[in-house]
Structure 1
Amino acid sequence: MNISGDLNIAVAIREYFDSGHTYEVILDMLKCNRDISISMRTLKTHFKESGLYRRGNYSPLPEVRRAILSELRGPEQLFGYRTMWQVLKQKHKLRVKRDVVMRLLRQLNPQGIALRTRRRFTRRTYHSMGRNYIWHVDGYDKLKPFGLALSGCIDGFSRRLMWLVCGATNNNPAVIAHNYINCVKSLGVIPMRLRTDFGTENGTMAAIQCTLRHAHTDYYAGSSSHSYGSSTGNQRIESWWSYFRRGRSQFWMDFFGDLRDSGNLNGSHEHQCLLRFCFRGVLQKDLDECKGLWNKHRIRPSRLASCPRGIPNELYLLPHRYGSRDCGFAVEERELDVFPEEGLPVGLCGDPNIEEYLQQTVQQNTLQQPQDWELATELYLALKDIAGF
């Protein structure tokens, strides 16, 4: 079979290779996801012809150093050497040894290493039957003082992030239900169980989950498919928020805090709308990158966890490799179309009147939507002066 002649297969193999999957997993991915069966020898021959090697041909050290310095300018300054190594491989396409990254971080970010060394997290025992056995949903409020609200969901077995979304609010039931429906539509499956806290924003999503499960006959069918509990008991998503605080959100909290302390941001509705208008797209891009890195990183073994170690994407997509199964239930899109999506915030900032004004101001002054946090800061300060907020 000529793999190189089929561009789609070659691109898929390159993507699996860059994600760090083993050769056996790549063969399994091709067979399960694309119905393509090839031998290990054919795969290795393709790697050799394409110049794909796990070891050797390492990137120049100055280039690696420049890439790390560029990452340390943003929220990635909170990363440890393992995550930074993964970023260099997947984002910058660099070949570098992990111990080299560790040594460079010691030189370039000694303060960050000292901060991470002092922090510890105690894990609790967790049990799950397989993928889609239970999804954990929760909101993240640490950025709410600045007008930005996050919503996330994680699969309990694989620890794969199902969604990670930034919006104007995470207290609106329509917003949380919208995130749930979008995820279910993309997968074509609903979880056996759904776990949330007691917040009223989860009511519509819980009702949809129970409605979709009403015709099933298993132990958790119908109303038993959703369970409320305290936030501290929702351990999968809460432990991930702890990781997120260390690796991402602390940067944004400090940055927006500095913006507030300098007098350029207060708690007014106008300032929060303006901040969302300028930063929401940039923050969502950062969240998408964070989600991708997490779903492709390798979870180390833990004596306090009954779930297997491995890469979240592999654990979720190939549960049979870990002696598990899919506990979810298939759902068709027409079953989801009966749930109307009303009451969703409009635009980037969540206020249609301010949104229209800001869009007109951007067009009249030939300003552009930013692609990174530095350009977003410039746009925010420019619009703040023009609007007189």
Structure 2
Amino acid sequence: MSAQFPECSSLLNDVIEIQDIIGSMKREQQEQNVTIRPSYDGSQRMGRPRFHIPKEQLELLLELRFTDADIANMIGVSISVIKRRLREYGLGRQNQYTTISNEDLDTHVLRLTHGNPLLGQRNVQGLLSSEGLVVQRSRVAESLTRVDGAAVAMRWSRTIQRRSYSVPGPNALWHIDGNHKFIRWGMVIHGGIDGFSRLVVFLRMSTNNRAETVMDCFTEATANYGIPSRVRCDHGGENKDVALFMNSHHGESRGSCITGKSVHNQRIERFWRDLYTGCSFRFKDLFHKLEEEGVLDLNSGVHLWSLHYIFLPRINRSLDQFVQGWNNHRLSSERGKTPNQLFVQGVIQNRGSNQTGVSEILHEPDMTEYYGVDWDGPVPQEDGEVEVSGLPCPVSNERLLQLKRTIDPLGHSEDGFGVDLYRRTVDFCNEIVE
């Protein structure tokens, strides 16, 4: 994936970091009965037993920018123990912030906010962090003012009051939903978010709203973050495979899959608003503009297919970049912790507990009972399903290969948005059709 989408390497690195921490905890659990406190080092001579804290674990927690107090609280030792181990291992936080001039910082901020004036301080700080640039929030705020002061004023006018929310830990409840703002153009965004940490576990745009598409997204997310204890979704038929899996895995009587109206799925409904203002609105505005200028005809199969060919990869690349920033942005309601930090912290603090979502991360589930289950089998359709069907390719397989060699959807665009690539694709398809 990183070879096809080089801009997404930071997102993959974030997932790998979390998986490394979880893997380290799994190995600990196999070696001993897991407690919240670290094991004792029996090789210590006279005196108080010495806590054994693996160097690799401390390195990973430092990479996620946890403080000494956070690490001590998660592992279950005093801050002085953590400080001593950091000194012994030669680990520290020297140069915690990246050395960068205001001019260079403004260049990065201008690039990240290009075409999107609604990105705020925390989102931009998260995007910079995902690129390895750790910058004080105050400097980010000053840079945003220098780059586009009018946009700062506009964002202040759009602030809203947040609601309180609480679940016991990571993977206790995932919220999954489909965003249908692009239905007009035959596209839909499927997303999932961990309710405890607000970590985005999957986010993908597709040209169909089928149950197997949602299940593919969900399965990939569980491979990265474990199987959640419960899932909340709406009654749409696109969620039936996920509901069938959850009820089969955890049981039906415990509310493994909670279905209801979208208004009851506020966690991800709130996220859709942030996604729209922070990423997807510029594509929606662009498509409307293409229609107004007569460049895009919704009654033309060639036009719609060309739109999907060019913009589906470009939008998914932007979604991945948004997830990078989101999972690394600091949450004011969580004392400045990022979703990545909250997820890892929650797993460490709740290991050894009876929370199903956390135990599923630390223990490989027995999938034997699911062999032979037909996830695509007939299931009654639910009310509220939104139909989005993929369009047939207007050219032959041979000509499609030629198109792929000729026009790269993620290649350089003269206008910066991909419109010129879309026009070339339409011309290419029309030549063949004619």
- TM-score where L is the length of structure 1: 0.77
The gaps in structure 2 that reach 5 residues or longer are 1-53, 77-81, 378-388
Contact 1:295 1:313 in 2 (8 A): yes
Q: Is 1:83 matched up with 2:123?
A: yes
Which residue pairs with 1:67 in the alignment? 108
Q: Is 1:165 matched up with 2:208?
A: no
Which residue pairs with 1:368 in the alignment? 408
Could you tell me how far 1:41 is from its partner in structure 2?
1.4
Which residue pairs with 2:67 in the alignment? 22
Which residue pairs with 1:195 in the alignment? 232
CA deviation map 1:67-90 (0-9, x unaligned)? 122223244x32112222332333
CA distance, structure 1, for counterparts of residue 172 and residue 297 of structure 2: 43
CA deviation map 1:266-314 (0-9, x unaligned)? 3234322211111112211211121122122221127xxxxx8732222
Q: Which amino acid aligns with 1:88?
A: L
**Among 167, 188, 192, which residue is 1:128 paired with?**
167
SS of equivalent residue, structure 2 residue 232 = strand
SS of equivalent residue, structure 2 residue 176 = strand
Could you tell me how far 1:339 is from its partner in structure 2?
4.2
CA distance, structure 1, for counterparts of residue 199 and residue 274 of structure 2: 14
CA distance, structure 2, for counterparts of residue 272 and residue 342 of structure 1: 28
**Among 293, 311, 330, which residue is 1:262 paired with?**
293
Q: Is 1:331 matched up with 2:365?
A: yes
SS of equivalent residue, structure 1 residue 164 = strand
Contact 1:134 1:194 in 2 (8 A): yes
Contact 1:18 1:90 in 2 (8 A): no
Which residue pairs with 2:386 in the alignment? none
Q: Which amino acid aligns with 1:100?
A: R
Which residue pairs with 1:293 in the alignment? 325
Q: Is 1:40 matched up with 2:86?
A: yes
Could you tell me how far 1:173 is from its partner in structure 2?
1.5
Q: Which amino acid aligns with 1:300?
A: S
CA distance, structure 2, for counterparts of residue 182 and residue 355 of structure 1: 31
Q: Structure 1's 13 and 382: CA in aligned 2 closer, same or farther, altered over 3 A?
A: farther
Contact 1:150 1:169 in 2 (8 A): no
Q: Structure 1's 352 and 267: CA in aligned 2 closer, same or farther, altered over 3 A?
A: closer
Q: Structure 1's 203 and 275: CA in aligned 2 closer, same or farther, altered over 3 A?
A: same
Q: Is 1:184 matched up with 2:222?
A: yes
Contact 2:171 2:227 in 1 (8 A): yes
Contact 2:306 2:422 in 1 (8 A): yes
Q: Superposition pairs for residues 354-365 of structure 1, below 5 Å?
A: 354=394, 356=396, 359-363=400-404
Q: Which amino acid aligns with 1:270?
A: V
**Among 282, 287, 290, which residue is 1:251 paired with?**
282
Could you tell me how far 1:258 is from its partner in structure 2?
1.8
**Among 207, 229, 233, which residue is 2:260 paired with?**
229
Further displaced range: 225-234 or 262-271: 262-271
The gaps in structure 1 that reach 5 residues or longer are 1-8, 32-36, 215-220, 303-307, 344-348
What do you get for the CA RMSD once the two structures are aligned? 3.4
Q: Which amino acid aligns with 1:39?
A: R
**Among 275, 280, 292, which residue is 2:307 paired with?**
275
Which residue pairs with 2:147 in the alignment? 108
CA distance, structure 1, for counterparts of residue 274 and residue 323 of structure 2: 12
Q: Is 1:150 matched up with 2:189?
A: yes
Which residue pairs with 1:53 in the alignment? 95
Q: Structure 1's 336 and 378: CA in aligned 2 closer, same or farther, altered over 3 A?
A: farther
CA distance, structure 1, for counterparts of residue 157 and residue 326 of structure 2: 22
CA distance, structure 2, for counterparts of residue 361 and residue 11 of structure 1: 48
Contact 2:174 2:231 in 1 (8 A): yes
Q: Give the length in aligned residue pairs.
A: 350
